[in-house]
Amino acid sequence: MGIPSTPHPIHGLVVIQPLKHQRCSACRRGPLSLLVLENGAPRCLNCADLGHLVLLPRGDTALTRRSREESALSAVVVRFNRRKGRYERQGVLVEEAALVRAEERCLADAEARRRRRARDARRRGVEDERFAAAFAAEILRLFPGCPAERARAIAAHASVRGSGRVGRSAAGRALSEGAVISAVVAGVRHVDTPYDQLLMSGVSRYEARRRIAPAVEGVLRAWQGVGEEDAG
């Protein structure tokens, strides 16, 4: 019949997707999309008493496992790969009612995961708001002259989860003075100086920072309340 023997590692009932046209040796129906080998002869699923089963293609491990758990009768579907010289799994045949029950179980799990993700997102949102508020408070402690709205904006930008910005670094999460100052410097650089325009005009980052350094320092000193006494 030209059908390679099924491999021993596959346990239980095995159904084959033939590579060539085959007819059932019992009822002569064909060509068969699926067949069972009995004593080397191909049988259609009806003649093999598997005709009531439905095919669940491979791809969803959880659904496959649960379908087989729910099904009193099941079979592994395989197809021979000529290039690799071996049979490969294509899915399973299970009872239709078992598949429905398995899908319901998976949907219930998916809904539970969705609710858990929503709870986790709300929790992270609360944590992020608290952290941004603490970061803004630290900015205002170090730079009491900084407008409160700017402090909140700098803190919110620096502490975006997953951004890799200074607020999410270990030092930033610890509200270290260096990290807070770095966030403020970055905020001033982009908002209060022509830094971005210099970059867009082709000036290198290092040269652009050198040019705007006095302006950044001026804003920081003003926000720290430094300069009036020195000027007197």
Predicted pLDDT at 162: 80
**Structure letter (DSSP) for residue 132:** H
* CB-CB neighbours of 117 under 10 Å: 10
Please spell the DSSP secondary structure of 197-211, one letter per residue.
HHHHTT--HHHHHHH
**Whether 174 contacts 159, CB under 8 Å:** no
pLDDT in the model for residue 11: 62
Q: Are 130 and 159 in contact (CB under 8 A)?
A: no
Q: What is the pTM of this model?
A: 0.54
Q: Cα separation of 116 and 119, whole Å? A: 5
Beta carbons within 10 angstroms of residue 8's beta carbon: 6
Q: Which of 47, 11, 49, 55 minimizes the C-alpha distance to 29?
A: 47
Can you give the pLDDT at residue 7?
53
The pLDDT score that the predictor gives to residue 230 is: 46
DSSP state of 52: T
Q: For the chain, what are the domain ranges?
A: 13-107, 143-225
What are the residues whose beta carbons fall under 8 Å from the beta carbon of 5, sequence distance 6 or more?
A: none
Contact between 63 and 57 under an 8 Å Cβ cutoff? The reply is no
Q: Extract the residue ranges of the chain whose pLDDT is less than 70.
A: 1-11, 226-232
- Give the other-Cβ count within 10 Å of 106's Cβ: 16
Query: How far apart are alpha carbons 218 and 91 in whole angstroms?
Result: 69
Are 24 and 30 in contact, with CB atoms under 8 Å apart?
yes
